[in-house]
Amino acid sequence: MSRIGRLPIQVPKNVEVKIEPGKVWVKGPKGELTSFISKEIEIKREDDKLILNRPSDSIRFRSLHGLTRTLINNMILGVTNGFKKSLEITGVGYKAEKKRKRHSAFTGFLPQYLFCSAERHYLKHAGSY
C-alpha cells in the first residue's frame, strides 16, 4: 500500500467535506475548494477522518492513491490555515526594508527592487540578527 495514501486525513470540526464519485468539495472558514479526482479511488468518511482505498496494486492506482490523498489534505489545510509563504534573507550584502506599504529588497548585484503590498497581503520584516 502507498505510504502516503494509507494515512488517514484528519478533518477539523469547522470543515465540511462533500464527496461524490470523481469530485470533492471542501468548505471551511477561509473559503471553499473543489477538485476533480479519479473515480477509481474510493473515499470513505469515518467520524472525523477520510480514508482512501485503491482497487488494485497497479502502478497507475498506486500513483493516484498518494496523489489523491495529498490533494485532499492540501485542500483541507488551505481552507483552515490559508496560504503562507516565508522568505528568509541571510548572508552578506542582502537587505530588506519596509516603509509604510512599500517594501524594498537589495539582493546582491541587482538594483534595488521595490514592491507594494496589497490590502489582503500581510508582510512582516523580522529585522536584523
Average pLDDT over all residues of the chain: 84
Q: State which H helix or E strand residue 128 sits in.
A: none
Report percent pLDDT > 90 for the chain. Answer: 55
For the stretch 27-50, pLDDT in tens is 999 999 999 999 999 999 999 999
Low-confidence residues in the chain, pLDDT < 70: 1-2, 109-129
Please check whether residue 26 is in contact with residue 17, taking contact to mean a CB–CB distance below 8 angstroms. Answer: yes
| pLDDT value of position 129 | 44
Q: Which three cell numbers stand for residue 118?
A: 496589497
| pLDDT value of position 93 | 73
Report all structural domains of the chain as residue ranges with CATH numbers, in order of start. Answer: 9-80 (3.90.930.12), 85-124 (no CATH)
Single out the residue of 38, 50, 40 nearest to residue 75, CA to CA.
50
| pLDDT value of position 51 | 95
| pLDDT value of position 128 | 52
| pLDDT value of position 121 | 61
| pLDDT value of position 86 | 73
